[in-house]
Amino acid sequence: MTFAIILSGGTGTRMGLDLPKQYLEFRGKPVIGYSLSTFDRHPLIDRIVIVADRQWRGEIDKWLDDLGIKKFAGYADAGETRQYSIINGLKEIDRLGGADKVIIHDAARPLVSTELITSCLENLDGCDGVMPALPAKDTFYLLDEHGMASKLLPRSLLAAGQAPEAFVYEKYFAANMSLSRDEILKINGSSELALKCGMAVKTVHGDERNIKITTPNDLMLLDAYVEDEK
């Protein structure tokens, strides 16, 4: 059994809009609808849990009907941080009977591809987690406490992580439950927690088009990518 958790609890404050970015209409459907449709059609995904604030669930229900989403299994409450939203999603899966694998994605990344989902899940065999990553293109320096460059970081050893990230469900759930509140509040990425808890996380090649909508400029880039795919 493989569950997908779609994280849709963000407020989208950096967009400067009255509604979260994942609920913006883009080319006739909400941003969240793009990734939902991709996960729903994917043959390796059995069920989907959406983490969302309760005030938006009525609207999401309408979109689920309009899009013909068949694998939706239930909602989980949005947490005070991204990782707490993930924990709420994991707990909802546990309530539904558990899973073998879980794959976690941000609703604000609408262009996730079927191929990337497949790569994450198929590469999970033999390790504890899988994270898509893009190789670093720029030069990176380590800064000291005064903002002075102290060390050049080897580009070949650096990568930018993306979502979705896939995990062995029981191991990842246990890892989340093992940390204190203060430790969880410091976590910024799904795989960061896995690494902190000693899980073996493999990387697969990410996708340049798998952008996260954070600012208005990202919507322009999204539009360009979709137009290019026509």
Mean pLDDT by 10 residues, the chain (230 residues): 94 64 91 97 98 95 97 97 97 98 97 98 96 92 93 91 97 97 95 96 96 89 80
What's the one-letter identity of residue 151? K
pLDDT at residue number 35: 97
73: enclosing H helix or E strand: strand 72-76
Residue 58's nearest CA partner among 40, 75, 73, 41 is 75
Distance CA 121, CA 107 (A): 18
The pLDDT value recorded for residue 198 is 97
Q: How far apart are the first and last CA of the chain?
A: 34
Q: Which domains does the chain have, with CATH numbers?
A: 2-228 (3.90.550.10)
Residues 6+ apart with CB under 8 A from 198: none
- pLDDT value for 19: 82
**Number of separate helices (H) and strands (E) present in the chain:** 8, 12
- Hey, which residues does 165 pair with through a beta bridge? 104
For residue 172, what pLDDT is reported? 98
In this predicted structure, what is the pLDDT of residue 125?
A: 92
